[in-house]
Amino acid sequence: MPRRIALFANGKVGVEVARFLAEHEDEVVILSLAGQYPTVDGEIEKVFSTNLELRKHYGDLRNNLEDFRKVFKSTQVDTIITVYWPHLLPSQLLDSQILTVNFHPALLPLNRGWYPHVHNILDGSPAGVTLHKISELPDEGDIWLQKEVPTYPWDLASDLYARLQSEISALFTSNWHLIRSGKIEATSQSQRSGSYHAKNEIKAMDYLDLNKSYKVSDLLNLLRARTFRESGFAYFLHEGEQIKVRIQFEREEI
């Protein structure tokens, strides 16, 4: 039987998942968009432009929970998929009879929470991607599937982030038929060996003290972790200004 899906889609991977689901027998009956990236949201909406029955929602649904619960009931949702969704889902929506899948770009239980790719570079923890059940607490649900992803000494944050996006999209599209049909059994996470990072942790890392001694490898890792494409988030202070710093690597055979 086709699944009736509430899709909470955000970012590039959200677009890829929307396109994948639109080409399969399952039906997306509710589409929620985060509003972080209007252009991307427009791409996702375009995927479902011919679905006139689709119910749409924007932003954090906790601001309008009662109405949203009624929509869930009226549309007979039996599956929730959250793709890079920036808000926690209220526990009232997590019925045990509903199949749930969340995308997290880390090798859970390591690096729950925010910016796992940054912490992979900073502390050397293994990188990876995980599909797991949605839980009340962030990123603690039972694991459907996961895959370790390689990191390299020249990776910038943006390089690793892009690689994780590609791998998690492929992990879902290759295995959704097994998850939806019950051919994969989710396994519980170890609560003792995990780690969690809050959103504001990285702000304290960005300040570079020009009077402080840094180990070369630590400084390189910090600059790699805080360089995202053309933007540098690490900085030092000079005459009342923040001077942003980014790093670039060039590989050359010897």
Residue 119 sits in the same domain as residue 235: no
Asked whether residue 251 is domain-assigned, the answer is no
List beta partners, residue 58: 33
From 164, 181, 197, the end of a domain falls on 197
Asked whether residue 57 is domain-assigned, the answer is yes
Asked whether residue 241 is domain-assigned, the answer is yes
Confidence of residue 193 (pLDDT cuts 50, 70, 90): confident
Residue 44 sits in the same domain as residue 165: yes
Asked whether residue 252 is domain-assigned, the answer is no
CB half-sphere exposure, 215, CA atoms < 13 A? 4
Query: For 196-201, what is the mean pLDDT?
Result: 92
Asked whether residue 145 is domain-assigned, the answer is yes
Confidence (pLDDT) at 69: 83
Residue 24 sits in the same domain as residue 69: yes
Cβ–Cβ under 8 Å, residues 202 and 118: yes
Nearest Cα neighbor of 36 from 9, 18, 17 is 9
Asked whether residue 254 is domain-assigned, the answer is no
Confidence (pLDDT) at 110: 96
User: Tell me: the pLDDT tens digits for 30-67?
Assistant: 999 999 999 999 999 999 998 878 999 888 877 778 88
Residue 160 sits in the same domain as residue 213: no
User: Tell me: the pLDDT tens digits for 160-178?
Assistant: 999 999 999 999 999 999 9
Confidence (pLDDT) at 177: 96
From 182, 197, 212, the end of a domain falls on 197
Q: Which two tokens stand for residue 35?
A: 């509003």
Residue 228 sits in the same domain as residue 169: no
Query: For 65-94, what is the mean pLDDT?
Result: 89
Asked whether residue 144 is domain-assigned, the answer is yes
Residue 213 sits in the same domain as residue 91: no
Distance between CA atoms of residues 27 and 79, nearest Å? 10
Residue 143 sits in the same domain as residue 68: yes
102: phi then psi, degrees, rounded to nearest 5:
-120, 145
Nearest Cα neighbor of 167 from 13, 15, 20 is 13
Pairing of strands 231-232, 241-245: unpaired
Return the higher-pLDDT residue of 71 and 122. Answer: 122
Query: For 207-224, what is the mean pLDDT?
Result: 96
Residue 222 sits in the same domain as residue 192: no
Asked whether residue 73 is domain-assigned, the answer is yes
In the three-class reduction of DSSP (H, G, I as helix; E, B as strand; rest coil), residue 173 is classed as helix
Cβ–Cβ under 8 Å, residues 91 and 100: no
User: Tell me: the pLDDT tens digits for 94-150?
Assistant: 887 899 999 999 999 999 999 999 999 999 999 999 999 999 888 999 999 999 999
Residue 179 sits in the same domain as residue 217: no
User: What domain range includes position 156?
Assistant: 4-197
Confidence of residue 190 (pLDDT cuts 50, 70, 90): confident
Residue 30 sits in the same domain as residue 139: yes
Confidence (pLDDT) at 3: 95
**Structure letter (DSSP) for residue 248:** -
Confidence of residue 29 (pLDDT cuts 50, 70, 90): very high
Residue 166 sits in the same domain as residue 238: no
Pick left, alpha or beta for residue 161 (phi over 0 → left; psi -120 to 50 → alpha; otherwise beta): alpha
Distance between CA atoms of residues 142 and 36, nearest Å? 28
Q: Of all residues in the chain, what percent carry a pLDDT higher than 70?
A: 99
CATH number at residue 121: 3.40.50.170
Return the higher-pLDDT residue of 40 and 192. Answer: 40
Q: Please state whether the peptide bond connecting residue 150 to the residue before it is cis, i.e. omega within 30 degrees of 0.
A: no
Cβ–Cβ under 8 Å, residues 121 and 224: yes
Confidence (pTM): 0.93
How many distinct structural domains can be found in the chain? 2
Residue 166 sits in the same domain as residue 227: no
Q: What is the DSSP string of 1-18?
A: ---EEEEEE-HHHHHHHH
Cβ–Cβ under 8 Å, residues 13 and 38: no
